[in-house]
């Protein structure tokens, strides 16, 4: 099982889209194992987006991400990191395909609603930035036997 760090960005929270976006992940069969409404500090934004520090869009990105509360989620499932990325769609709202979160709910290239870890290494680093020990819960979901084929002992 993989866990991805997802951020519903300030535009998603302000536009009242949190529920609809979370529903998509739940309906897919992914499990919410952490959730936190918070305001990102400039220091945390800088750590989170450190790889983008030299980019032209970086100052605007930090300003956007710290401008209003975000909902941070830890989302778990088989292949969850890539599944979340494909459900999010391409970075730019203007280019993201229909059926994806960015494609269906936005048109902006910077206010693009959602962040998702882009690989296992990033997920581990980002989960550590946003969640303290004990805040990501290993909880048993009653319906898992109908989400996954568990007949072999491992979820398929
Ligand atoms: N971004 C932007 N302008 C750009 C590229 C990126 O404002 O030209 C913002 C956008 O909010 C994006 C974030 O910076 O989600 C991080 O960029 P990245 O290329 O990592 O895209 P992502 O992984 O979020 O799809
Ligand atoms: Mg990225």
Task: Assign residue 82 the CATH number of its domain.
Answer: 3.30.70.141
Expressed as residue numbers, the domain containing 121 is 2-131
Nearest of 56, 58, 54, 91 to residue 101 by alpha carbon: 91
Q: 149 lies in a domain?
A: no
**Residue 24: band (very low, low, confident or very high) from pLDDT cuts 50, 70, 90:** very high
Q: 142 lies in a domain?
A: no
> Percent of the chain beyond pLDDT 90?
99
Q: Evaluate: CB of 57 within 6 angstroms of ligand 1.
A: yes
Q: Evaluate: CB of 109 within 6 angstroms of ligand 1.
A: yes
pLDDT of residue 95: 98
**For strand 31-38 and strand 70-77, is the pairing parallel, antiparallel, or unpaired?**
antiparallel
**Residue 66: band (very low, low, confident or very high) from pLDDT cuts 50, 70, 90:** very high
Query: Whole-angstrom Cα distance, residue 68 to residue 2?
Result: 29
Enter the tokens of residue 50.
């450190």
CA of 9 to the centre of ligand 2 (A): 13
Q: What is the pLDDT of residues 72-87, one digit of tens each?
A: 999 999 999 999 999 9
Q: 145 lies in a domain?
A: no
Q: Which amino acids are annotated catalytic?
A: 115
Q: What is the pLDDT of residues 111-120, one digit of tens each?
A: 999 999 999 9
Q: 146 lies in a domain?
A: no
């Amino acid at each position: 099982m993989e866990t991805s760090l997802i951020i519903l960005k300030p535009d998603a929270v302000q536009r009242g889209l949190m529920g609809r976006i979370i529903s998509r992940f739940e309906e897919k069969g992914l499990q919410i194992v952490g959730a936190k409404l918070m305001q990102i500090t400039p220091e945390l934004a800088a750590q989170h987006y450190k790889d983008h520090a030299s980019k032209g869009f970086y100052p605007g990105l930090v300003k956007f991400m710290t401008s209003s509360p975000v909902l941070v989620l830890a989302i778990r499932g088989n292949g969850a990191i890539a599944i979340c990325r494909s459900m999010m769609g391409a970075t730019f709202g203007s280019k993201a395909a229909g059926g994806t979160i960015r494609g269906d709910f936005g048109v902006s290239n910077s206010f693009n609603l959602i962040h998702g870890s882009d690989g296992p290494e990033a997920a581990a680093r980002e989960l550590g930035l946003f969640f303290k020990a004990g805040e990501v819960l290993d909880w048993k979901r009653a319906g898992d036997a109908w989400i996954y084929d568990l007949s072999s002992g491992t979820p398929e």
